[in-house]
Chain A
Amino acid sequence: MNAKKSNPNLRVVASTASWQELGISGGVVKSAGNSEKYHTGNWVPRALEFVPENCINCGLCWAVCPDDSILLDEKGNMIGVDLDHCKDCGLCVEICPPNKNPDPAKHALRFRDEEKSDF
């Protein structure tokens, strides 16, 4: 399992360059592997929330996520959700075993009520 973390600095760099700084670049890119900087997570309004104390670390959410947005540490333990790329499909919420508990306070993954804001 690959460790994957969202770099909070990328967002700051991406959205602060003025048009004057772009100069005559014409949109050329001088560095490879930058598709991760595309924060497709802002296409959707809801934000997923991870409650670590309720997580049983079963890995089912990681297995079903179509956007590779479940963040794991080096040992494969779930540590959070990559909101820059999460598309709000809800598959992880549906499959999560702790979410079967009738008490919502015991759920490990849920949608927050407030809307997210990116740029």
Chain B
Amino acid sequence: MTKKIIDHETRTLDGNAAAAEALRQIEPEVFGFYPITPTSYIGEKFSKFVADGDVDTEYVCAESEHAALSICVGAAAAGARAVTATASQGLILMAEVLWNASGTRLPIVLVNGNRALSAPLSIHCGHDDLYAVRDSGWGQLVAKNAQEAYDFLVCSFRIAEAENVRTPLMMAMDCFHTTHTAMKISLEPDDEVQKFVGEIILKNPLLDIENPTAYGNFTKPDFYMEHKRAQLAGLENMRGQAEKVLREFAKKFGRGSGELVEKIGAENPEIAFVAIGSVCATLERAVEKLGNAAVVRPKMFRPFPSDELREKLKTAKKIIVLDRCSPCGAEWAPLGTEIRNLGLDAEIRNGIFGLGSRETHANDFVELAKNFENLPENKPHWINLREEK
């Protein structure tokens, strides 16, 4: 079958379609998939690429997300480049397999649509799913918009597969705010993307029958701890590898930068907002209204870019960290806790916003900044929550 070659073009796509286009260009050997809102469309669109002969990928419809990721684990152990896409309940159903993939050092890439967890059932945005699996040993890239989702996905395989990393990576984008919001996307030429991504470097593939290998082995007390430490080294190396690949991407395609933390606004801000995901676009508008302010956005949640954040936040006098998740019994929510752990001189407050896509506008953040002195110190402030005073 002849493949359609698509040259550089600008198209109006939502995050899901942009992700599917990136995967068409990369053409992984195996795509294990089970549909779930909001990322079903990635599988739908990709299955059309398979049916039309645009890709030679083995597209496997699984019976659950647990199976979908297990298919990827088997494929990656065999030596294939494997990908899956999921969200929310799907991601936490995969939880067991997430740990298997990272511990076995299989560089699988997963596209997640950050969605609030049940119950009560919500199909809208929340970072509960992402935070729930933050300690799974996977890398977590969080895209701001559909273009960045495309760009990150093109970079993901090289970040995960590097010899000193060999660690799976999830590329996350916000449910509906990014997965279903169309924007003008620059698609790079197929051949340029393929050249950029390159071939997978094989490590102990199961299909190398001349050199038999056993995967998923039992480990005794005399080895488990060393394995966990060695695994951490791979995850830590992902920071440097992500910087390297993002920088190379920026140089080649003229978008983004190698920085793991983006800072937009004043250099020495009176107030800095820290957040991940699509809300950062809203925060940029709030920063314009406030004047002496900045948005500081880690592009990765795991491994956490601590040094870069210290550098970008050292001149801020006040900091508001915004979390799209309940603190769930901790004093602060996850991102707030991480920022407080950096040991900065600034006054820091934690805000909870947008659970289940509760609307939050730029003006809400402007008000929040003006009201800084009244925000509680040792517990988060819930933004746009109906409550009795």
Judge whether A27 and B219 touch: CB under 8 Å. yes
Interface residue SS majority, chain A: loop
Interface residue SS majority, chain B: loop
Judge whether B226 and A18 touch: CB under 8 Å. yes
Known: A38-B220, A119-B222. A23 touches B230 (CB 8 A): yes
Which of B141-149, B209-217, B257-265 lies at the interface?
B209-217
Residues of A within 8 A of B106 (CB): 26
Judge whether B211 and A25 touch: CB under 8 Å. no
Known: A29-B217, A32-B212. A24 touches B166 (CB 8 A): yes
Judge whether A30 and B222 touch: CB under 8 Å. no
Residues of B within 8 A of A15 (CB): 222
Q: With A and B bound together, what is the CA distance between A60 and B37 in angstroms?
A: 65
Q: With A and B bound together, what is the CA distance between A30 and B212 in angstroms?
A: 6
Known: A19-B230, A22-B227, A22-B230. A28 touches B104 (CB 8 A): yes
Known: A14-B223, A15-B222. A30 touches B230 (CB 8 A): no
Residues of B within 8 A of A26 (CB): 103-106, 166, 215, 227, 231
Judge whether B212 and A27 touch: CB under 8 Å. no
23 contacts between A and B (CB under 8 A): A14-B222, A17-B226, A18-B226, A20-B230, A20-B233, A22-B226, A24-B230, A24-B234, A25-B227, A26-B104, A26-B106, A26-B166, A26-B215, A27-B215, A27-B219, A27-B227, A28-B214, A28-B215, A28-B217, A29-B213, A32-B214, A38-B218, A119-B221
A residues touching B (Cβ–Cβ < 8 Å)? 14-15, 17-20, 22-30, 32, 38-39, 119
B residues touching A (Cβ–Cβ < 8 Å)? 103-106, 163-164, 166, 203-204, 211-223, 225-227, 229-231, 233-234
